[in-house]
Structure 1
Amino acid sequence: MRFIPTRFHGILDYIVGIIMIIAPWVLDFSDNTAATWTLVIAGIAVLLQTVFTDFEVGLVRRIPMQSHLMVDFGLGVLLAISPWLLNFDERVYLPHLILGVFSILASLTTHRVPSHSYKAEHTSPDHIRNM
Structure 2
Amino acid sequence: MISSSLNHLLCVYPAFCEKWYGIGFISGKFNQLKCKIMKIISRKAHGYLDYLVGILLIASPWLFNFYAGGAESWLPIILGAGTILYSLFTNYELGMIKLMDMRTHLVMDFAAGAFLALSPWIFGFADMVFVPHLVIGLGEILVAIMTNPKPVSQEDLLH
Runs of 4+ in 1 over 6 A off after TM superposition: none
| Paired residues of 1:65 and 1:114 also in contact (CA < 8 A) | no
1:86-97 map, 5 Å: 86-97=123-134
Cα deviation for residue 25 of structure 1 reads: 1.1
Bigger drift between 26-35 and 103-112 goes to 26-35
Higher RCO (CA < 8 A, seq sep 6+): 1
1:33 aligns with 2:70: yes
Q: 1:63 aligned to 2:100?
A: yes
Give the CA deviation at 1:58.
0.4
- Specify which of 105, 116, 129 is matched with residue 79 of structure 1: 116
Q: Which has the larger radius of gyration?
A: 2
Q: The residue matched to 1:10 in structure 2 has which SS?
A: helix
CA distance in 1, matches of 2:151, 2:108: 17
Aligned length: 117
Q: Give TM-score, length-normalised by structure 1.
A: 0.86
Q: Which residue of the partner structure matches residue 47 of structure 1? A: 84
Specify every segment of 5 or more residues in structure 1 that has no aligned partner in the other structure, as ranges: 118-131
TM-score w.r.t. the length of structure 2 is 0.71
**1:64-87 CA distance string (max 9 Å, x none):** 001000111111111110000000
Q: Distance in 2 between matches of 1:101 and 1:34?
A: 19
| Unmatched tracts of structure 2, length 5 or more | 1-37, 155-159
